[in-house]
Structure 1
Amino acid sequence: MLLNIIKKLECQLIKTIYINYGFSPESIILIKSYPEFVYKVNYKNSKFILKILKKDKIDIERINFIKFIQKSIEIPKILLNYNNKLYSELYFDEYKLFFYLQYFIEGKDINYENNNNAIKYGRELSLIHIKSMTYKKHYAEVDIFKECIKELEYILEILKFINKKAYYSFNNILIFFKEKSLESIYYENLIFIHGDTHGGNAILAKKIYFIDWDDSKLYDKYYDISCFYWMCITLNRMNLWNLFCNGYQENYPINYTQHKNKILKMSILKDLKVFKYYLEYSQMIGSDLIKDIYITKRYNFIKNLIDQII
């Protein structure tokens, strides 16, 4: 059943690529199917990454920023269709989806056994932030705990059916966030950030190229920085954090001491987003992929970060 759906989708993609870009792929290879379908597309001497998105990812502000950043910094370019747009419509059964074609760069995933890659990652991220500051800045309110509450409420709706003990534990965290919500509000010059810089979402070739801009949004740049911090504490590689900061500060200063609480809170938000992702995936495939031990680790991880907040 699933294979038939995938085959049907691929046939529709080939037709739609021809309509929007004027060529028929020689091959289209599924790379991953969740949270979005991602394909590698081959045509003559050109290779592309094709990613299918839902409508809620198609935001005009994000589109304009991606167009800007493509012109400002060397990143894998998204191919414009016949209508001079980044995204093309894809009709599949009763669904209206979107996809883009991004030029494929021959490279490899970043290996942090080479510590210098953390420096390079920080350096390239700071350049993106500096360019973004020239694009748009907006002084506005940020409420990290409010966003944590939104993620937690979704998580609790799933946990109450699969793990009652975890449900009550995470509900206590929810109560804490609600009690402390006002304390997490601050004002900041927001810029467009990448939105998922956890040490991945980048290709290492002659330099580091950032990819997957689908979570880009107008927000505090420290969220991007916190995503890398989250990766470091998750993998117990805090030496990488110092190297990342050194690389970032080659172009722009990071004041970790002054912003420690913010980074901790944003790391909690990142962990909740990842936890929600795995819960959703487990529900979707009807699996007990999410084991009790993983849920307990997530609780202990978040509780440990909360305890560090001054």
Structure 2
Amino acid sequence: MKRIFCFIMLSLLMGFTIQAQTKVKEIRSGGIQIIREETPAPPQQTRVVFWTSQERQGPIKVYVNGRYEGKITKSYWSAPKCGASGCVTVTISGKNNQWYGVASDGTRWYSSSATLSRGCNAIRLYSSGGSSSSRSRGSSSSHSSSGGTVPKGNPGGDAISSSVQKIGDAYGSIMREGMSVPVEGFPYFAVNAGYSRFSSGFIGLKYRTGGFCGLSLFGDFGFLKSDYGYPWDVGFGLCIKDFAWDLRFGNTGLCPNYGLMTDISYDWYFTEKFGVSAIVGFGLGDTKKNDPDLIWTWGISFSYKIWNR
């Protein structure tokens, strides 16, 4: 009987010990042992950062539920984080919240429909084109923070602008985060030599910024004269690792009066310094015409990194 009793007591003691270990932390300091119960983390609040991508309108006063919260004084290319400089960040609770902005010229500023969630929510304001005095009070946008979607303050074209905004925000977020990710060999400055349908035989220079993502600036100069003179082009690109979307403008042997081209390029460096590049794209030629020609290009070149990190 004593053995059974001892076994039961030992089992209970072990059970209490395991349960206690999940509820407390031991903090040892100066030989004194302190046992502290863990408390659950407070629920995450619903925060909203109001921002705009438009410029030249001056400061925008932001009102939430009829209360003035601050001014937007800076424009952003893509959605900023809560607390960003030049934006207005507020904490919102409850349902059926209303907000709008008023620029210095009196125009009202609204957003597309939004569904708020816990954490940080970015709301972009854009001009409605009407003055504050010319619009009724009931026309301001209403947005539910409980998960519902409600009508917008500016119905015309909002579906398109909202889609473009989402695509831009997503790509901007990828670029912003990717530029801070270091990659061996980036940034770099390189010289290229090769052939393209746009520039014929050429030599060029390219500077690539950032890390995993970044921007590129480049210029190519053709050494084979065509009927329209020596080819040349300059441009920039948005890069994700070795791929880039480029926009270039210049004189081309394909047509007179310059060409405007968009293309996809890929750089493959088979050593630390040497590599090859390939492009394919299309664009407009003879840009001074009312109805420009459709042109296309492909090209390949050898690259050498003069400098890289």
The structure in which a higher percent of residues are strand is 2
The structure in which a higher percent of residues are helix is 1
TM-score, length-scaled by structure 1: 0.24
Higher relative CO (Cα under 8 Å, sequence separation at least 6) belongs to 1
